[in-house]
Amino acid sequence: MNRLLIGAALAALAVGAAQAEEVKLQLKWVTQAQFAGYYVARDKGFYEEEGLEVEVMPGGPDISPTQVMAGGGADVTVDWMPSALAAREKGLALVNIAQPFKSSGMMLTCLKESGVAGPEDFRGKTLGVWFGGNEYPFLSWMATLKIPTDGSPQGVTVLKQGFNVDPLLQKQAACISTMTYNEYWQLIDAGLKPEDLVTFKYEDEGVATLEDGLYVMEDKLTDPAFVEKMAKFVRASMKGWKYAEEHPDEAAQIVIDNDETGAQTLEVQARMMGEIAKLTAGSNGALDPADYDRTVKVLLGGGSDPVISKEPEGAYTLQVTDKALQ
């Protein structure tokens, strides 16, 4: 009898696994606490509870989320809204279906000895900027300040920054792009002290744009089954994010356990998770239209070289989160 019961249980598990809906998630960057919510949701069984089998695909310097989506390599991707809207205007119909990150973690971090005390001191300086879609918030900010990015004495020289802090450490730039949860702390770990640095948070400067939203291809949203699957995915993902906020040390360990490169350390990921929790705080996953409008306004302020040239249409939907939050 016991054998029959065990056999029936195993058969039921096999049927359940066979019926699980597959979701491929493309991350914007490498495995780290920036994406802890998704790893936690998978590790704690939140996706499984929704009948989903989620493959989390790390990004990297040679991986463009928008290109992966264009090629049909993922169902959903994590991307910054400036990059997604720019891609949409160029013909790639990405749509925001959820916004786990409520706040921006982007900053410009400067050496105090460079003489930069305020944005008015940027003129004539070299500033490190990430490209690959991450340059858009910076360009919009400079346009707002009416500071040319042409290298002229009254403008700034833009240094195409790698995903490291070397330009500041080697004094090749007065300021570089950093995130509150990552590169800023790399500078501190390298021996600089907070008093050696001057930071300008995009949130404080009024030019913050939305980061780390979830995007799908527009045509897929015509399929009710896909919308339902994404609602399950968002619901489980947000459960993962809230668990990560409340259990940052455990979340950091889960990230480490999922890092196949072995490049991350628990200390760094725990610290990062503490900073990330500040950015996801207050979000239930639903995009706030006011935050969207602010982002669009910032991006349209790009002067002669705008990130987007017109008000986007159909760039986000609330139908997935409305269903997820029912």
C-alpha Rg value of the chain to the nearest Å: 21
* Residue 4 confidence (pLDDT): 47
Residue 274, token pair as written in the block: 């503490």
Dihedral sign, Cα of residue 11, residue 15, residue 16, residue 17: positive
Using DSSP bridges, classify how beta strands 213-217 and 197-201 pair: parallel, antiparallel or unpaired: unpaired
- Judge if 35 and 131 occupy the same domain: no
Domain stop point among 165, 182, 205: 205
List, for residues 171-185, the tens digit of each pLDDT value: 999 999 999 999 999
251, pLDDT greater than 90: yes
At residue 211, the pLDDT reads 96
Specify whether the CB–CB gap between 117 and 201 falls below 8 A.
no
Per the structure, the complete domain to which residue 28 belongs is given by 20-103+210-324
- Please state, in angstroms and as integers, the Cα–Cα distance from residue 218 to each residue in 101, 118, 201, following that order: 21, 41, 32
Residue 11 lies in a domain: no
In angstroms, the CA 287 to CA 316 distance is 8
How much is the average pLDDT of 90-105? Answer: 97
pLDDT surpassing 90 at residue 10: no
CATH code at 125?
3.40.190.10
Residue 1 has pLDDT above 70, yes or no: no
Nearest Cα neighbor of 208 from 127, 271, 292, 125 is: 292
For 163, phi then psi, to 5°, come to: -85, 60
DSSP states along 264-309: --HHHHHHHHHHHHHHHTT--SPPPHHHHHHHHHHHHT-TTS-S-S
Q: Tell me, yes or no, whether 142 and 184 share the same domain.
A: yes
CA atoms within 13 A on the CB side of 274: 7
Q: Which of 155, 178, 205 is the last residue of a domain?
A: 205
DSSP state of 151: S
Are 132 and 219 in contact by the 8 Å Cβ rule? The answer is no
pLDDT for 269-300, tens place per residue? Answer: 999 999 999 999 999 999 999 999 999 988 88
In angstroms, the CA 71 to CA 235 distance is 26
Domain co-membership, 200 together with 215: no
According to DSSP, the residues that pair with 26 across neighbouring strands are 57, 77
Lowest mean pLDDT among 82-91, 109-118, 244-253, 304-313: 304-313
Q: Work out the average pLDDT over 256-268.
A: 95
Residue 304: the pLDDT is: 52
